[in-house]
A and B are shown apart, each in its own frame.
Chain A
Amino acid sequence: MEETGIIKHCRITIFGLLLLTSLLASGCADLQAVRSFAKTSAATADYRQIVTDYVESPTRRKRYHPDRYAVQPAGTTTPRARQKTLLAGSQRVLAGYLNALGDLAADELPDVDSEIDGLAKALEKAGFAGDGDAAIRKETASAAGSIAKVLTRAVLDHWRQDRIQKIIRETDGNVQTVVAGLREIVLKDFNASLDIEAEAVRKYFESSIAAAKSRNDEEAVPPLARILMQEHLDRIRERRDRLSSYAEVLKKICTGHADLLANVDKLEDKALQERLEKFAADIRILYKAIKEIYA
Chain B
Amino acid sequence: MPISADQAREIAGGFLEMSHALGSYRFCNWSRLTKSQRQGLENAEWDMLNYSSSFVTAAAGIALADIERDLSEIATTTAEAKKAVATIKEVKNVMKVAAALIQLGGAIASRNPAAISRAAANAAKTAKKATDRRTP
Given the contacts A118-B99, A193-B53, A79 and B61 also touching, CB distance less than 8 Å: yes
Complex interface: chain B residues within 8 A of A206 (CB): 23, 27
| Residue B117, interface by CB 8 Å | no
Tell me if A189 and B78 are in contact (CB < 8 A): no
| Residue A83, interface by CB 8 Å | yes
Given the contacts A103-B85, A189-B9, A207-B42, A182 and B67 also touching, CB distance less than 8 Å: yes
Complex interface: chain A residues within 8 A of B42 (CB): 66, 69, 203, 207
A172 to chain B, nearest CB (A): 10
Complex interface: chain B residues within 8 A of A184 (CB): 5, 63
Tell me if B74 and A174 are in contact (CB < 8 A): yes
Given the contacts A71-B46, A119-B99, A167-B77, A196 and B39 also touching, CB distance less than 8 Å: no
A253 to chain B, nearest CB (A): 12
Contact of A110 among B52, B84, B91 (CB under 8 A): B91
| Residue A152, interface by CB 8 Å | yes
CA–CA, A156 and B94, complex, Å: 13
CA–CA, A57 and B12, complex, Å: 15
CA–CA, A110 and B19, complex, Å: 63
CA–CA, A188 and B89, complex, Å: 44
Chain A, range 159-208, C-beta contacts under 8 Å to B: 159-160, 163, 167, 170-171, 173-175, 177-178, 181-182, 184-185, 188-190, 192-193, 195-196, 199-200, 202-203, 206-207
Tell me if B92 and A115 are in contact (CB < 8 A): yes
For B, the interface residue count at a CB cutoff of 8 angstroms equals 61
CA–CA, A57 and B74, complex, Å: 30
CA–CA, A87 and B85, complex, Å: 27
CA–CA, A199 and B15, complex, Å: 12
Tell me if A110 and B74 are in contact (CB < 8 A): no
Complex interface: chain B residues within 8 A of A71 (CB): 46-47, 50
Complex interface: chain B residues within 8 A of A75 (CB): 50, 54
A124 to chain B, nearest CB (A): 9
Tell me if B60 and A210 are in contact (CB < 8 A): no
Complex interface: chain B residues within 8 A of A109 (CB): 88
Proximity bits, B21-61, A CB within 8 Å = 1, else 0: 00100110011000000010011011101101110111111
| Residue A47, interface by CB 8 Å | no
Complex interface: chain A residues within 8 A of B102 (CB): 119, 122-123, 126, 128
B94 to chain A, nearest CB (A): 8
Complex interface: chain A residues within 8 A of B84 (CB): 104, 160, 163, 167
Complex interface: chain A residues within 8 A of B27 (CB): 206-207, 209-210
At the interface, is chain A mostly helix, strand, loop or mixed?
helix
Proximity bits, A206-227, B CB within 8 Å = 1, else 0: 1101110110000000000000
Chain A, range 238-281, C-beta contacts under 8 Å to B: none
A-B contact pairs, 20 of them (CB 8 A): A76-B54, A79-B54, A93-B74, A110-B88, A112-B91, A122-B106, A128-B102, A156-B88, A178-B71, A178-B74, A181-B70, A188-B9, A192-B16, A193-B53, A196-B56, A199-B23, A202-B23, A210-B30, A211-B30, A214-B31
Report which B residues bind A (CB closer than 8 A). 5, 9, 12-13, 16, 19-20, 23, 26-27, 30-31, 39, 42-43, 45-47, 49-50, 52-54, 56-61, 63-64, 66-67, 70-71, 73-75, 77-78, 80-82, 84-85, 88-89, 91-92, 95-96, 98-100, 102-103, 105-107, 109-110
Report which A residues bind B (CB closer than 8 A). 54, 57-58, 61, 65-66, 68-69, 71, 73, 75-76, 79-80, 83, 86-87, 89-90, 93-94, 96-97, 100-101, 103-104, 106, 109-110, 112, 115-116, 118-119, 121-123, 125-128, 152, 156, 159-160, 163, 167, 170-171, 173-175, 177-178, 181-182, 184-185, 188-190, 192-193, 195-196, 199-200, 202-203, 206-207, 209-211, 213-214
**A-B CB proximity, top 10 nearest:** A126-B106, A115-B95, A100-B81, A181-B67, A122-B99, A210-B30, A174-B70, A189-B60, A122-B102, A163-B84
